[in-house]
Amino acid sequence: MPKNQNITTLGERIRRKRLNTGLTQDELAAKMGIAQATISQWETGRVNPSDDELSKIGAIIGKVYRRQVSLDSKQVSGENEEEIQSYESPFSVWLRKTRLDKDISVPELAQKANVTPSTIYAIETGKIGNPQEKTQKKIKNALGEEVPLEVTDETEKDAQIEGFGQLIDFNPHDKEELPTCPGVYVLYDVSDRPIYVGEGGNIKSRILEHEQKFWFKAPIVVNGSYVKIPEKIQRRQIETLLIRFLKSNAVINVKNVDR
C-alpha cells in the first residue's frame, strides 16, 4: 500500500480526507445537511464546492485546500503539511472505527477472529493496508459487521497493479494467515523498508523456510506484501528486477542470505 501519494485534484483530496475520517458519502452529506449526490459530484470533480461549503467540509473532516499539493515539491507551506501525511487505507480506518465503536480491545478482537493481536495492530496502523480476503472475512465476522462496499472498493482500487492484480499485505509471523498461492513477496522492517524479496510456487512454504533464520525475527522483519503470479519464469524475472531496483535496500538479498 502506498504510504504517500500526490493528490492532484480538489475532489480527490476531499475523498481521501473523508475516507481517512471513516465517513461514507451519506454520513458526510448528513452532517452538512446536503444530498449525497452533491458529495459525489465534488469528489468526481463534476462540480467544485463554494468557499463556504469547503469551510464546512473542513470543520468535519479537516481542512482541504484548493491548490494542488505535490510531494515532489521542495517547498511545501506549513498550512499544507496535513495534506501530505501518509494516506490511510480505508479498511484500516473502518476497522479501527468499528472496533472502538463496539468497545472491543485489540486482544479481544484478535481472539474472536483467530488472528494474532499483531495482525490487528498492523492493520489499524496501516502497516497492512489491504489484508488478504480470508483475514478480512475473519475480522468482519468477529465484529458482526459487513465491510461497506465503498471501503472494499477503495481498498482494492488503491492496491491494484495493472496487469498483475492486487498487492496484498500479510503478517509473516502469523502462520495461519500466510498466503498459499504462487507469487512474488517482499518483507519489510519496522520502518517499512523493504529488506527481502522472494518468490515461490507456494509463498507460505517459502516463508516457513525463513522462520528459523536469524534475520526473520522482528523488528528486522515485521510485515510483508505479495502479488499473485502463477508463472514461474515471470516470478523469477520480477524477483530479480526488484532486487536490482532496491539495491542495498534489500539488505538480506544483498548479503545473499537464504537464497
Domain boundaries, the chain: 10-70, 90-160, 178-254
**CATH annotation of 10-70:** 1.10.260.40
Where would I find the beta strands (DSSP E) of the chain? 160-161, 165-166, 168-170, 183-188, 194-200, 223-228
- Determine the pLDDT at residue 186: 96
Fold of 178-254: GIY-YIG endonuclease (3.40.1440)
Q: How far apart are CA 75 and CA 231, in angstroms?
A: 45
Q: What is the pLDDT along the chain (259 residues), one digit of tens a residue?
A: 444 444 568 888 898 888 888 888 999 999 999 999 999 999 999 999 999 999 999 889 888 887 754 444 444 444 444 554 446 789 999 999 999 999 999 999 999 999 999 999 999 988 999 999 999 999 999 999 999 988 998 899 889 998 889 999 999 999 999 999 999 999 999 888 999 999 999 999 999 999 989 899 988 999 999 999 999 999 999 999 999 988 877 778 765 444 4
| CATH 3.40.50.2300 correct for 90-160 | no
Q: CA geometry: angle at 162 spanning 157 and 164, to 5°?
A: 105
> How many other CB atoms sit within 10 Å of the CB of residue 152?
16
CA dist 253 to 23, 151, 258, Å? 42, 35, 8
Closest C-alpha among 42, 36, 90 to residue 64:
42
Global pTM value: 0.74
* Fold match between domain 10-70 and domain 178-254: no
